[in-house]
Amino acid sequence: MTLNIQPFPYQGSKRKTADQILEKISVKPKRIIEPFAGSAALTIAAASKQLCGNFLINDSYEPLMKLWTLIVNKPSVVINGYTELWNAQIKDPKAFYLEIRKQFNKDNDPIKLIYLMNRAVKGAIRFNSHGEFNQSADNRRLGKKPGRLMKDINTISLLLKNKAIISCADYSCVLKNLKKGDLVYMDPPYLGTSSGKDHRYHQNLNLERFIQNLEFLNERQINYMVSFDGKTGDKAYGNGLPESLGLKKINVNGGISAQGTLNGKHVYTTESLYISSGLQIYKEDESLFNIRAIN
């Protein structure tokens, strides 16, 4: 099992399913890349298992990547800043959260972002039509205690310092600079979660453009894995990727849905994992397979 650590809750995080995804990798890749990093759960899990010694963590949301830069390279800055905010909220947590959210939407301070994410309802980011963070606080709790956060962030820094490059760019820019031996794991936002009244992601995903980028990876014979759609109970999220890409689709058990539990329902989540052709080794029974890295 991988280490059960995370610096902040993040809706859609693959922390719970990282083991199932990583167990498909039988040979160490030269580098693991997450173009839609978010909570970088797969990178953290892979580093804890020593599956790879080089990583690239990327996301197009700049405040998040500034936070990741501090977590990996200057963990004490994050710990001290978070502790100060956590202690300052005690007298009036609800009003304090609203004030920090207001300030963050003006200065994009990454320390304020980690505080907001640890207090937000469902551990989920939401944005309004102006691109401002607008998720409410979960007023039943104060967020992760500073001592626990210190332990998690220090562990992550030890795992990734001098091993991870952190960048802020559109995912397509990252994909253009890959090399043979790289393994790309992509967890883009589900279609429909980055549009509407309350965006779950700060930027839309254009499906046609995304598929074109996957075709580009196929042409260059770059190995990749994509978590793209899924189901919670009988409700489906996202659309499947086209068969023309030559990907193998398997189901990953996401466990009991936290959202379902909040709604008083006991339902399970199933996520789809797509695997590029260069990673597929089939036995007679195609439900049993391993993955190798092509160097």
Expressed as residue numbers, the domain containing 99 is 73-148
Residue 4 falls inside a structural domain: no
Domain containing residue 204: CATH number: 3.40.50.150
Provide the percentage of residues in the chain whose pLDDT is more than 70: 84
* Whether 196 and 280 share a structural domain: yes
Residue 5 falls inside a structural domain: no
Burial of 57 per CB tally in 10 Å (0-12, 13-18, 19+): buried
Which of 148, 178, 212 represents a domain boundary (last residue)? 148
pLDDT at 242 exceeding the cut of 90: yes
* Whether 54 and 187 share a structural domain: yes
Domain count, the chain: 2
* Whether 175 and 29 share a structural domain: yes
Residue 66 falls inside a structural domain: no
Q: Considering the chain, what is the average pLDDT of its residues?
A: 85
Residue 263: what pLDDT? 53
The band of 259, judged by pLDDT with boundaries at 50, 70 and 90, is: low
Residue 268: what pLDDT? 77
- 106: enclosing H helix or E strand: helix 93-107
Residue 79 falls inside a structural domain: yes
Which of 148, 181, 201 represents a domain boundary (last residue)? 148
The SS3 of residue 184 is strand
Residue 290 phi, psi (nearest 5): -120, 175
Residue 234: what pLDDT? 75
* Beta strands per DSSP E along the chain: 31-34, 55-58, 164-167, 182-186, 223-232, 235-237, 248-256, 268-275, 280-282, 289-291
* Whether 175 and 285 share a structural domain: yes
pLDDT digits (tens, 9 = 90+) for 171-195: 999 999 999 899 999 999 855 444 4
* Whether 98 and 194 share a structural domain: no
Is the distance from CB of 117 to CB of 9 less than 8 angstroms? yes
Domain containing residue 81: CATH number: 1.10.1020.10
Residue 211 falls inside a structural domain: yes
* Whether 48 and 176 share a structural domain: yes
* Whether 179 and 36 share a structural domain: yes
pLDDT digits (tens, 9 = 90+) for 125-151: 899 988 899 999 999 999 999 999 999
